[in-house]
């Protein structure tokens, strides 16, 4: 090989190395920035776009950290829990209804709202509390709504995809659970 073509070949290798290095750098930066921007720029204060377990307090989501232990109810209060996957098209379809439900009715329903978020179930999740909570509730499909009252599971399934229906559904579940005719087992007498 001639000296001239050898220099041209080496220059080409260097250019390719620089381009590949820049491409890797851009991908790494985007991998960090995109989730951060999504978490910071939700269109509503009721949206969460970052992995974790969150509880709604004073109209703000507060991230909970139990390390590798799951979030579980610890008292006889009522809880409405939404299990969500960031890569789930059905969750993205449900999210506007959940957000509208919280905007309109979070103060009308006597319950604590909890959201458990992973990127894709336990398989793609970096938050240990969210992973443990997905496992504790044996979540295998999403969106998943769980309603708990007095340490009793009232509902575990697909939520209604309409904010008004969601309100009526959860309100009636919780009303029935707290009615005096209801025994501690959740059955009417």
Higher-scoring residue by pLDDT: 63, 42: 63
- Predicted confidence (pLDDT) per residue in 111-151, tens digit: 999 999 999 988 899 999 999 999 999 999 999 999 999 99
Ranges of each domain in the chain = 1-41, 52-178
Contact 151, 76 (CB under 8 A): yes
Asked if the 52-178 domain carries CATH number 3.40.30.10, the reply is: yes
Beta partners for residue 64, in sequence order: 53
Contact 125, 118 (CB under 8 A): yes
Asked whether the bond before 75 is cis by omega within 30 degrees of 0, the reply is no
pLDDT of 26 reads 61
44 — pLDDT class (breaks 50, 70, 90): low
Task: Tell me the helix, strand and coil percentages in the chain, rounded to 5.
Answer: 40, 25, 35
Contact 127, 84 (CB under 8 A): no
pLDDT of 183 reads 42
């Amino acid at each position: 090989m001639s000296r001239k073509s050898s220099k041209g070949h080496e220059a080409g290798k260097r250019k390719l190395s620089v381009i590949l290095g820049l491409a890797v750098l851009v991908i790494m930066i985007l991998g960090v920035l995109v989730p951060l921007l999504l978490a910071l720029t939700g269109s509503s204060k009721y949206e969460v776009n970052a992995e974790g377990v969150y509880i709604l307090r004073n109209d703000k989501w507060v991230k909970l950290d139990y390390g590798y232990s799951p979030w579980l109810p610890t008292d006889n209060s009522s809880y409405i829990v939404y299990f969500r996957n960031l890569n789930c098209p059905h969750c993205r379809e449900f999210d506007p209804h959940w957000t509208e439900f919280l905007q309109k009715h979070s103060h009308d329903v006597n319950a604590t709202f909890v959201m458990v978020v992973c990127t894709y179930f336990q398989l793609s999740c970096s938050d240990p509390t969210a992973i443990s909570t997905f496992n504790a509730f044996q979540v295998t499909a999403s969106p998943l709504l769980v309603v708990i009252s007095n340490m009793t599971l009232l509902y575990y399934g697909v939520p209604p995809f309409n904010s008004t229906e969601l309100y009526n559904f959860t309100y009636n579940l919780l009303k029935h659970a707290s009615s005096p005719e209801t025994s501690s087992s959740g059955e009417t007498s």
